[in-house]
Amino acid sequence: MADHNRPSWKAYKILYFGFVTSLVLSGLDKFFDFLVNWPVYLSAIVSHIINAQTFMKTVGVIEIVAGIIVAVKPRYGAFIVAFWLWGIILNLLTIPGFYDIALRDFGLSLAALALGFLAQEYDTARKAR
């Protein structure tokens, strides 16, 4: 059973709730554009192949599903999110002026990796109850 006073447990819970909520909320926002006009973050390379709004709605569904996977199986979902963020970073690096956001997403990918490693301990502890 997890010791709820351990700093690593607290870090796990912060990352867990942070990723679940941010993935679901940002996924939902891909349909409404309340936070930002998401298509501006799409590389011209991709937007020439597929309609930007359609692509972003697909991304929204993927992010919602990723949030659900992190909620149910964080030990796997966190690594999926890290890889997803690396894809986003590659996209952002092809757009001049978005390098700061790519750097931020790299930091988020490191946090996702940390969640995945912490979940290897704490997700297993949750099952043992």
> Can you tell me the distance from the alpha carbon of 70 to that of 47, in angstroms, rounded to the nearest whole number?
29
- Residue 69's nearest CA partner among 110, 61, 35, 55 is 61
Other C-beta atoms within 10 Å of 37: how many? Answer: 9
Q: What average pLDDT does the structure give for the chain?
A: 93
pLDDT, average across residues 99-124: 95
Report domain extents, the chain: 7-128
The per-residue pLDDT for 129 is 47
The per-residue pLDDT for 86 is 98
8 Å CB contact between 76 and 70? no
Is the pLDDT higher at 24 or at 45?
24
The per-residue pLDDT for 123 is 84
Distances (CA, A) of 95 to 54, 100, 109, 120: 19, 11, 19, 36
Is the pLDDT higher at 123 or at 35?
35
Q: What's this model's pTM, rounded to 2 decimal places?
A: 0.90
> Can you tell me the distance from the alpha carbon of 118 to that of 93, in angstroms, rounded to the nearest whole number?
29
- Residue 74's nearest CA partner among 125, 4, 6, 2 is 125
The per-residue pLDDT for 1 is 56
